[in-house]
Structure 1
């Protein structure tokens, strides 16, 4: 029955069915479905009643943290919970790993409660405790596949924590496996997957994780940016390893692109929330990415780095709805990219310097600003895009 309810919740749109109403619906279904017939509000439920409920672990992740804790508290005791909760094979959108020992499964539930708790005061005690245990399992394992499994679990938990600090900690820890050709590719692909972009964008966090001030936002963005720089540094180190696998860092550009896109969209969102002015938010969220994007481009063009697969003439700037607030940044980024590519082409062929007027020494204009709408906006507001106006 619980598994059916989980499927129902996935089909119901949140805007028409508030999360706070879900526990009430669960109670009604458990009570009135003939094959279950259990009143969750009864003083004490028997093992037989719990077996009729067939409690699916996923249901704890689909209701608010306080309701989830209450539902778990109705179980007879912790020992009984291990036998009465079913961890089915996880669906693609699941936040639980259905395999592993009970301490790992129960630890995930406690982590979900902690991460989603709207009244969080004690930090990430349960999350950090679980992570340390998982990292210990990876470190002590002699079997490479078991080691890889536990290391990847650490990366998955870091992403689910929705914490930049925890994600950075696990990323630093992952470098202990730089020369492990089984563990490192898997954990790195997980850590740079686009699923973490909502964490590193620092603008799509849930209300209980959102910075309360401009200073807090800047501190969070600085830490997220330092993690992106750490990935570039790690990629260069990994490139020099004998067991280097080209596909490991190939999609790092996708992560950068999505973070950049979300930050541009997030300026107006955070401005509406009263976190700061447009210029302040642009400075913190968007302009702070210039060193990262420039270093990424320089690294991609450097001799010997071709196997990283980072050379993209169109860059990482996405083709999305134009926003005037981002145009000055994109104009400056285009100027720097054009200079980098011009120097690179000249180093490879000195005839580039003799190109006639109208022939780009760096990149063609369509590679510097993607999309006709962006181009039209740049032409309409030359004061915001002097480089494009010149071209």
Structure 2
């Protein structure tokens, strides 16, 4: 009946199949049902080929969930990806939807477009409707949308593309990381510059580095560095531990890698942080034919497909650089390697200052503390400060006979921190 109606339509007809994954699910997928629907749709597509005036268009949010038999020549032989709009497209969408809408002079649609990473056209419409509702509720006369109405609407209406994605908004800054000056410089140049200053790369026709490998002992600040660069660039931060993506079912680990990078492209600018990358992409051997081989191959494919302009940056971290597959570290992939070493004495003093910032203290000699903590990592020093705080509380409670109503005299002293050092040890084997 559909084909007959389409053939009779003048001058031609477009048959639109909505939610194609539901109408024609992949019969090999877990829980898939309705084998009759894909065959009926395939029958329709096969007969449409003989009618130049009839075109079938399908729509889906998950092409991998569609019956593969329909995604071939002669059926759905052309695929068009309709992605999430970039800042310029979001600005154009806002222009369309605010045509005829009263906006206050101080309203900056450019600022709204820059802030709405991951918002679709429908999301932006919802933001404007919410802002208009707020304006109408606070106006005696004709409503005028103000910048504060838009700010409130943005807080209330999130991007629909993030509803099933765990995305962090890091608050860590470079000032929160003591020492590591060389590592900070490399990360800023290779990850932050392409996202903050794309015009400079375009001017020199320079491709931005695709990825950075942070390597060093545990607790030296690799994760903090990744969060700091994401916060500095206002990029979306997608963090995943390598073991989280590994799945014993065939094909699931590769799908996890593919989905992760698809989300990152959708949410660009984005920073993808792969912690424990050596477990996700271990060095392969000639005899490898299993899951690790397929996962590494998928990861290499995703890295090779990233934009050369750095809209998606990859930060990987490992405690064992020699265990990472060498193909991952070639130019064009995770090509920049940044050592995050155990801090030296000057760096330890800086870390103590960062960790003690905001702590009620007496006179503290961070230089002496740094000299007494050879081999300690940043997380070790954070543990020393926590233990020192507990020792200070213990002394305070003993002195006040466990009356905690007055904490005005509670401070961490040099003595507390020296005692804490005596009861802790470096976490890295062989340090100290």
Q: TM-score, normalization: structure 1? A: 0.32
* CA radius of gyration, larger in: 2
Compare relative contact order (CA 8 Å, sep 6+) and give the higher one, 1 or 2. 2
Flag the structure with higher strand content: 2
Flag the structure with higher helix content: 1
Q: TM-score, normalization: structure 2? A: 0.30
